[in-house]
Amino acid sequence: EIVLTQSPGTLSLSPGERATLSCRASQSVSSYLAWYQQKPGQAPRLLIYDASNRATGVPARFSGSGSGTDFTLTISSLEPEDFAVYYCQQRSYWPPLTFGGGTKVEIK
Amino acid sequence: EVQLVESGGGLVQPGGSLRLSCAASGFTFSSHSMSWVRQAPGKGLEWISYITSDSSTIYYADSVKGRFTISRDNAKNSLHLQMHSLRDEDTAVYYCARDPTMTRGNFDCWGQGTLVTVSS
């Protein structure tokens, strides 16, 4: 099973700042990594698939990069609606499909 | 509008059974693989089961294998999860999620979730 480790656990930032979230895989997942956003009481939302492709309707301030075992989700300038929990997920070697433990982006 | 609506959650005693359903609309359900993903209270996401569009391939997470059964009815645009031998640790919000097909193994549309509470 591929284990995904996200860091940091919590990121405290102010609106307008840049957010950099990390996801590390226990073995190479090539580029088969996705990012999801989840707000309290809501279902997750797909943001990025295959490491760097924005899903439909996702603002350009969200970008993904990386390959192999190290990946990054960057939010270039935080908007108030971006404060949420973010999960990475791999589809390289499955079953099982696995998620990281999440990074909470909170208002500083 | 693409929509997934789960139902069937509730309170059940340990060892009991429950059947979840997911009603799909706004897209060609029979063309998409589907998954169930759960989230324990205050915890992260856990994928638990997957079924292809024609039900020919089914996968389960080890945590539910032998206890849960995924199925679908393409004529009724519905996905199901039959859960038996429920345990305290199965308490979670259960989401059905659509596979986008072009990137098999991702989840591009989610329902609002249904809460399953296993407790005596």
State pLDDT tens for residues A77-96: 999 999 999 999 999 999 99
Q: Would you state the pLDDT for residue B101?
A: 77
pLDDT at residue A15 tops 90: yes
pLDDT in tens, A24-41: 999 999 999 999 999 999
Which candidate in A30, A33, A86, A97 is best for mutational testing of the B interface (most B CBs within 10 A)? A97
pLDDT at residue B102 tops 90: no
* Secondary structure, 3-state, B66-119: CCEEEEEEHHHCEEEEEECCCCHHHCEEEEEEECCCCCCCCCCEECCCEEEEEC
Q: Is B113 on the interface with A (CB under 8 A)?
A: yes
Minimum Cα–Cα distance from A46: chain B residue: B108
